[in-house]
Structure 1
Amino acid sequence: MKNQFQNELEDVFAYLMQLHQDNIHPKVARKRLRRLQQQYPNTEINLLWEEESYDYSVHYDVLLRHPGEGTVSVSFCPDRALPWPMRGVHRWHDADLVKVNNTVLTIEQAIGCLDSVWDEPKLVNRLLNACLIQEELEKNPIELTDSELQLAIDGWRRAHRLYTSEDTYRWMSQRSMTHTQLEQYVTTEAVVAKLRDKVTASRIKDYFTQHKANFDTAHVAQFSIHGKQKAEQLYQQVLSGDIDFWQAAQQQFLAASQKSVEQTSRMLFAELQRRQMTDQKANAIFSEKPGKLLKPLKTDDDCYELILVLAIPPTCFDVKMQQTIKRILFEAWLAERRQVAKVEWYWGNADRLSQLFVPEQVAAG
């Protein structure tokens, strides 16, 4: 064991010296490390590095872990450089997302698999929001009482339909999550909710007063039809009584393509607010009484909606309305901070990032 350990140290030191002499990039350095890992399969060998932002120089460190014994850290610092213990060294696992057997998937690799992230401003904004929220909470911490945490956990379990201990433990097991991690997860959600309350509390009533018309709500039944002529024909048939609205909706559902079927089934019944609609659609709906069938409204290139107004309830400043306004105000608060934030992305293709994530695009999302 002692001789093997000495051999490992000698080989690792030679490896580090070679990295320094050849000025090797981390990607290549990791490839070279595989020879050592294959040579000493019973030792867990990991490579750490830190890149200086001002000159892009890289400092390497190798960890040798012997199960049941301990871990040895080996590094080489050239003359006039700063040894890694004196730097804000980046731990090797900070960039790792998941490990399956002995294979580690990094965050950069995972994001590379999700091409859709680049075309989803909402998803991008959520990532930026997480940083902005964390920044605010570090400046102005929010604490939860034990009773608040318990209420948050109970509410979270109800929301996820985890009504028994067995259901909760199964959910945690599927995600390799401990009870402590679950508490941290729920605590984060609860703290963000308290932050949202704090940011928006004094503005909710005024916002409702100023924008009340935007929250006019209509309960409707609606489905899509492709083609103006077909939409007009179906509209006239429903008006004349040749077919009722529900039969027309059923026929359209059965005749639609798979993609249209999904849209039709999802949108047959809807609760719509004026702020979520185009002016044309909102004016058509709110100018009629419940029970009225609207003329076909054009939505996309050759798509029309047939809408039956079911009910138009009064606009009330109730709990549901207050929660809706809180979300609107909180998103506006975050949007203001995204617009002035300095954003640097560390994963993905740099050229592509520079084209996609200009401040105007990020803020506009």
Structure 2
Amino acid sequence: MADGRMLADAVGLLSGGTAERDLDGFRAAHPEVRVRLISQREEYDGSLQHALLLKEGDGATVSLSWCPERALPWPLRGVHRAGEHLLLRVNGVETSVARAVACLDFIWDDSRLADRLVTDSLVREVMEEEPEPLTDAELQGAMDAFRRARGLLTGGETRAWMDRNRVSHDELEELVAVEASVARLRSRVASGHVEDWFAEHGRGLDVVRVAKVVLDAGAGPHVPDSDGFLESVERAFADGTARPGEVFASLRREELDPAMADLVFGAEPGTVAGPFETEGGRLLIKVLAVEPAVLDDAVRDLAERRIFAEWVERRRSTAKIEWFWGTAERTGT
């Protein structure tokens, strides 16, 4: 390893700009050592860096690298650009990858990935412009609700959940505070609009309680009568002609195809509607009860969420949205 000629040749190999091409010649000139050339593309500036590993028979290894003038210095090797930790910017509000993961796991729970992230940025923009600090009582209430929603009813269960999700106590408090702030903003945006929204859209929130089954397409045309419906469902499932799935369900009118909704909601309780052709097979529905929507707490919460979603969509339509992810930066508006 103290062979000055070998080390000089190694430096020449690395500094010549053709290390990969000249490696075989170096090996032939120095057969007494095992040689490995390590190549790494630096994400910081796109440059290609090389290091040479020289290993003798006793197992000792020399690692040699060379840095030309004005090249990326060693302290910056392997460093990522700040923008590589940035996933999204909306109206100047930045979303880091870490923030995005938290957003996906804890804040939004029923929208697509991209919409979730954009919505989070738009909401934070407003909350930063118009901050409303939460009181200790509000934070405690939000924490209690957060734990109840996830079945974390004891301190031990909560600590186990935190350990499993790699969340510290401070991070948990921050996540809960964000969730509570979003809920407050949602109520503020919807304030004064719920009654009008319900008058226009409330019919879509009507509920029908049903027993249902999806039969294979080849199960035959037979439609069971209402009295023997559940028994027929059991037999169909036992003989393999019924698809596994939920039997009893509460469905809102807006969840159904309009033609199907008219038939189901127009049926007398106790009667069977269908069959309806679906991708999974033939759907049969026994109507158990029909309940017109009333503006109770549950429906008010739904109305607030719909109003909030419409508000977000209006802001999104005028927002400047820049994405930073994938194999290259890309910007969308």
Counterpart check, 1:333 vs 2:317 = no
Cα deviation per residue 1:164-202 (whole Å; 9 max; x = unaligned)? 111111111112221111100100100000010011111
| Segments of 4+ moved more than 6 angstroms | 33-36
Distance of aligned partners of 1:155 and 1:107 in 2 relative to their CA distance in 1, 3 Å threshold: closer
Which amino acid counterpart does residue 154 of structure 2 have in structure 1?
Answer: T
User: Post-superposition shift, 1:331?
Assistant: 1.2
Q: Distance in 1 between matches of 2:318 and 2:294?
A: 35
Q: 1:195 to 1:162 in 2, by over 3 A?
A: same
2 CA distance for matches of 1:240 and 1:135? 54
Displacement of 1:135 in angstroms is 1.4
Alpha-carbon spacing, 1:180–1:30, altered in 2? closer, same or farther (3 Å): farther
Larger radius of gyration: 2
**Residues 142 and 195, structure 1, Cα contact 8 Å, conserved in 2:** no
Residue aligning to 1:286? 265
Counterpart of 1:209? 199
Q: Which residue of 2 aligns with 1:320?
A: 298
SS at match of 2:213: strand
Percent of aligned positions with the same letter in both sequences?
29
Establish whether residue 239 from structure 1 lines up as the match of residue 239 from structure 2.
no
Q: Decide which of 225, 228, 253 is 2:237's aligned counterpart.
A: 253
Count of residue pairs brought into register by the alignment: 265
| CA distance in 1 between partners of 2:72 and 2:111 (Å) | 36
Residues 252-289 of structure 1, C-alpha deviation per residue, up to 9 Å, x if partnerless?
334559xx84xx42x32211111111111111111111
The residue number in structure 2 matching 1:274 is 253
In the alignment, is residue 343 of structure 1 matched against residue 321 of structure 2? yes
Q: Which structure features the higher share of strand residues?
A: 2
Greater shift, 270-279 or 188-197, is seen at 270-279
Q: 1:30 offset after TM fit, Å?
A: 8.0
SS in structure 1 of the partner of residue 294 of structure 2: coil
Report the alpha carbon displacement of residue 161 of structure 1 after superposing the two structures with TM: 1.0
Superposition map of 1:90-169 within 5 A? 91=82, 94=85, 122-169=112-159
Check conservation: 1:293, 1:308, Cα contact below 8 A.
yes
Q: CA RMSD in A?
A: 4.0
Indicate how the Cα distance of structure 1 residues 159 and 121 shifts in structure 2: closer, same or farther if over 3 A, else same. Answer: closer
Q: Mind listing any 5+ residue stretches in structure 2 that lack a counterpart?
A: 1-14, 16-40, 54-60, 64-70, 88-95, 102-109
Q: Is the 8 A contact 1:215 1:315 kept in 2?
A: yes
Q: In 1, are the aligned partners of 2:152 and 2:158 still within 8 Å (CA)?
A: yes
Report the CA distance between 1:248 and its aligned residue: 2.4
1:173 aligns with 2:163: yes
Contact 1:297–1:304 under 8 Å retained in 2: yes
Change beyond 3 A, Cα 1:149–1:63 = farther
Q: Residues 278 and 63 from structure 1, CA distance in 2 versus in 1: closer, same or farther, beyond 3 angstroms?
A: same
In 1, distance between residues paired with 2:306 and 2:208?
A: 20
- Output the TM-score relative to the length of structure 1: 0.62
Aligned counterparts of 1:138 and 1:185: Cα–Cα separation in 2: 16
Unaligned runs of 5+ in 1: 1-14, 16-23, 41-58, 65-72, 76-88, 97-105, 112-119, 360-365
> Between Structure 1 and Structure 2, which shows a larger proportion of helix residues?
1
Q: Aligned-pair distance for 1:231?
A: 5.0
Distance change >3 Å, CA 173–CA 29, structure 1 → 2:
same
Q: Once the 2 structures are TM-superposed, how far is the Cα of residue 27 of structure 1 from its aligned partner?
A: 6.6
Letter in 2 for 1:344: E
Is contact 2:211–2:285 with CA below 8 Å preserved after alignment? yes
2-side partners of 1:30 and 1:181: how far apart? 37
